[in-house]
Structure 1
Amino acid sequence: MRNLDAYPFEVRPLTPDEGGGFLISYPDFSGCISDGETVAEAIANGREALEGMIEALEFFERPVPLPSSGGVASGKFVARVPKTTHAHLTTRAKSEGVSLNALVLAFISEGLGRRDGSKAGTGHQTPF
């Protein structure tokens, strides 16, 4: 079983002309994309698309790319937050039925998406 979390992905907001929501793509797999109304939904749908892509490659006995690191970041960081913030985030994650990490990632991605959306036309994308 492959570690799907090891594959880097990019999330970007879709314009209203593109249907709105968010698009996720995997640089290690040409054409492996998905979308969702929210960042969390796009990530969940993207994971399913990635899993399907890998299963198809294996079925047809095609090579499955190893996860690239992009040579930039490990994808992990630790942040200390006030206990009250941690409690609020934990409660919110539980009420939405997601992990604390997924919730925080969604908030970060949405914030970066909004910021990047204000730079429309600059060609800037948010890498994850």
Structure 2
Amino acid sequence: MNRYPLEIFWSAEDAGFIAEAPDLPGCSAWGKTETAAARAAQRAISAWIEAAQGAKREIPEPSTLAPLANYSGRFVVRVPRSLHAQLARHARQEGISLNQYVLHRLSAGG
């Protein structure tokens, strides 16, 4: 098995899961399930490496992801005052804290 990290996501357009190896440009695979996509991605990674070797291109080392324990769940973002005010107003209208509102918006993708 290759040690390259994968990003796996659902694609409505493809009606299946896409697994991408971000370290290897253009290397991705499709599967009906996340597991199938991950297995197909392993084959795609092998093919990508084989093609790169044949073309005498450089093959990047697999990146490593920091363990979840390395993240506190807290970060600071500076925003324009107008955006801060707008977010605070929306949070107040929803009857929740600004932190809860921003978390909800981030989780929802916008």
Report the TM range for the smaller structure's normalisation.
0.5 to 0.7
1:51 to 40, 46, 49: 46
SS at match of 1:69: coil
Structure 1 residue 67 and structure 2 residue 71: aligned?
A: no
Q: CA deviation at 1:73?
A: 2.7
RMSD of the TM alignment (CA)?
2.1
- CA distance in structure 2 between the aligned counterparts of 1:49 and 1:25, rounded to whole angstroms: 9
When Rg is computed on C-alpha atoms for both structures, the one with the higher figure is: 2
Residues matched between the structures, number: 72
Structure 1 residue 29 and structure 2 residue 20: aligned?
A: no
Structure 1 runs (4+) greater than 3 angstroms displaced:
none
- Which amino acid is the alignment partner of residue 4 of structure 2? Y
Structure 1 residue runs without a partner (length 5+): 75-117, 124-128
- CA distance in structure 2 between the aligned counterparts of 1:24 and 1:8, rounded to whole angstroms: 10
Identity, in percent, stands at 32
TM-score, normalised relative to structure 1: 0.51
Comparing both chains, which one has the higher relative contact order based on Cα–Cα distances under 8 Å and sequence gaps of 6 or more? 1
Structure 2 residue runs without a partner (length 5+): 69-106
- CA distance in structure 1 between the aligned counterparts of 2:55 and 2:14, rounded to whole angstroms: 33
- Which amino acid is the alignment partner of residue 9 of structure 1? L
SS at match of 2:19: strand
TM-score, normalised relative to structure 2: 0.59
- CA distance in structure 1 between the aligned counterparts of 2:14 and 2:5, rounded to whole angstroms: 24
